[in-house]
Amino acid sequence: MKANTLEEAVALTKKFTSKPSNEELLKLYALYKQATEGDNTEERPGGFDFVAAAKYNSWLAFKGKSKEDATKEYVDLVNSISVKYM
């Protein structure tokens, strides 16, 4: 099963039978946010919220990438890792 759109890719991730690695999860999160919201304009999370900081930094790494490119990269990533997690 291959996804062709952002919506299909999101639906496909919900069918994963095991959890992707933290690195893969961060990249999925960041690409999804870039595809749906564009550049990260949120405030940097404070202090000891390491998960929020990791998400923030991951999304920030895609600054300047168009929503279309981020969508394509997200779909491609989901399709490539789905063989491992389904």
Position 30 scores a pLDDT of: 98
* pLDDT tens digits, 35-53: 999 999 999 998 899 999 9
Per-position pLDDT tens, the chain of length 86: 899 999 999 999 999 999 999 999 999 999 999 999 999 999 999 889 999 999 999 999 999 999 999 999 999 999 999 999 99
pTM, full prediction: 0.94
- Write down the domain spans for the chain: 6-85
CA atoms within 13 Å, Cβ hemisphere of 22: 5
Residues sharing a CB contact under 8 Å with residue 74, sequence separation 6 or more, in sequence order: 6, 9, 28, 31, 32, 35
Q: How far is residue 15 from each of residues 10, 34, 58, 82, measured CA to CA in Å? A: 9, 22, 24, 9
Architecture of domain 6-85: Up-down Bundle (1.20)
